[in-house]
Structure 1
Amino acid sequence: MSTLAGCRPEVVVIGSGAAGAAAAYHLARLGHEVLVLERATFPRTKPCGGGMAASVQRWFPFDLRPAVDTVIERVRFTWALEDPVLAELPGEAPFWIVRRSRLDAFLIEQARCVGARLACGMVVEGLEPSATGWLLAVREPGGVEVSLETRGVVLADGSGSSLAAPLGLGPRQPRFAATVSVELEGPVQDPAAARFDFGLVRHGFCWAFPRKGGYSIGLGSFVGREGLVDDDAVLAQLLPTLGFAPEAGVRTRGRLRLWDGHHPLHGPGLLVAGDAASLCDPFLAEGLRPALLSGCEAAAALDRWLAGDPEALAAYSTRMRQVWGDSMAWGRRIAQVFYRLPRVGYQLGIKRPTAPRRIAQILSGEMGYGDIAQRVIKRLLLQRS
């Protein structure tokens, strides 16, 4: 028997990750009938470093700290595990570490508390315009196929989205960073310190974020399309420095859908948010803040559109370009130079006395890449010549 039979919500949110849950919460809080369709079932795990600037709190009227594992106070940078730089983060720009299984469940529960409905195990196989909005083809658990009508749709189905590009949302051919995520259970050396190494991964870096009961480790390659180079060898070097065996941890290979140019993020009654919109930072791999930002902005835009403002959805694309895309355009340029000259970038960029504070300000949203890009790129290119 269908669980969606006869259901005609005002808005359907596809995906219950950070972006989808944020959009669902704000739309439901504003009085809209919201249905969230999620492919997986809760509780679920999701590979993610879990780094998140505490500044995202300003977008929510409820306290996010119950979903926070660790507060980062300092960052340790290294080049190939040597030449360390230890930097205390400024108190006005704290950094949080979360587990995505916990954060996503917390956010979607907040959305449900204000009236949103969650349906799990739902696979959206297609969207078509209808006379009143959109018609969704949905496969329910057990293989039951149903059609679902709605006025508005928020696409938030993650990096693996197969729905956005065919609808003309985001880049036609997304650019991905190859990644490996590792979850380690065991003692943590310094619970308040995040680690970044820029010398082990070709055209990228690796990170180690402490959380309750262990670490979230990530490796990412951000330039070119060749993928990671011998990630097992990288982890065999990195993990013993954290007190773990070279083969330790549960490993998951994946891809990050990187920001790769300005593209429309809206259509008639339709918005794309989060990883499905290709918003991930192409330099520092930050994905949670843009996911939450876009989810909140999408809800505000769709609320105005449902109230009769015909320009509200186009304004969402413009707004995301202003508050995120313009900075990422410079971030991509920095990444293209930095990751092709990583040793030079480490010496002239990361080791500069002001670098840790600048990174913290960028991650918190106090500063954009455009504020530093021209000086950084010029410095790197002059050294190269």
Structure 2
Amino acid sequence: MIFSFLLIQFAQGIITECSGEVTQFSNQVSGFNCQNGYTSTINFPDSFSNIPKLIFYPSLFDFASVSSSQPTAKIDIVSVTLTDFQIKLTCPYQRINTYTLRWYAIDDQRLIVINEFNLNPIGAKSFTFQNPNIKKAILSILGIGYKASFDMGLSIADLTSTSVTVNYYSLNANFLFLGYQLILGTDEIITYIDQIQSTSVYTSPQYPVKSNSYFILGFSQLQQGQNNGVITLKATINQGASVVDYAISRWGSGIYARNTISSYWLKYTVDNPFLAMECFTVRISKLFEMNSDQKPAFQLEIFEINKIVNTIGSEYILLNESITLLNIHVYYKCPSNNKKVHSKLNKCNSCSGSNKIYNLNHYCHGSINTINIYAKFKAQSNYKELTLTTTSNGITIVQKLTNKIITQETILFVEFLDV
């Protein structure tokens, strides 16, 4: 019995991405009734190592089933596990015939998905995040509710290294409910393709297929011009080996809702990860200073940002994208002859063992009372997140790297030891 269980566990694979379609929100499905909420469970083809990010876009709006003065569709993610997710549709006024959603699940920390499924009150909103290398933002309307003709839309008003602001507009008070996703990513994760304002049935040009990427759509604006009209829209993607296109059409007998739709590539295998800074030059200076009694016991100096630290503590530092060379100076005042300075500096990210770091030892003695380490580091042209930690026994600089997973890489470690 135990042996069989182990075989099953070892046979199970680990995935980092997958996609599919939620098709259970339809009157064609036995038992479907979304007035009080209808939940669908979607199984992944295998198991993730971490809880994945979920991205959705509507591939079919069909609100033409039951007469109602307030067509409304509310989407909620009930749960996400390593093997499945549950999504819930609520349509309190029984106006939904079919609501189909394309979904994408990706395990990557360079991707941030913000779910604003019930914006109340409806209006502009700002969000904060913790990845300074976020460069792109996509909006995707998922939940709507209205009582008559409307014209509404969303747009990105501002995107910084720490926050994003989403603007909302509406030409009247007929739009009653809004839910959306905000998808944020690095330059390599998200590639913008096009943004189209469509007033009638639309077929896009053909775009070259991008390897290891999903072709995704997102509605950011909708307009319905009749007081008793219902929305029936269908989004169809046609992807071949080398090209892809999409079509936005009317579904059934409803009216075509004018819309703005964005297309983009979402890359799930990244070629250029963020790397730790590498020390390419290190110089040691050992001196006898007559005025050492006037100096601190130790000091860390980063020249490019005019940063000096000579007290015990920990501090977060964000280095600008323009900084690709960093000069660091570590100063240590020998309190006695029975001390040494042991330092490790990250030298080669692609190396292992002794080739990966500079591993140095320098000793205090009678003719030397100060030890200075001068290190030059090269860095990528992105934001660098550093934590500087100083204790009475040493100095550490750790760089946070947000790739598929988040890692903490020590680029400089200096300790003051007894001999």
Task: Report TM bin, short chain.
Answer: under 0.3
TM-score by length of 1: 0.23
Higher relative contact order structure (alpha carbons within 8 Å, sequence separation ≥ 6): 1
The structure in which a higher percent of residues are helix is: 1
Report the structure number with the largest CA radius of gyration: 2
TM-score by length of 2: 0.22
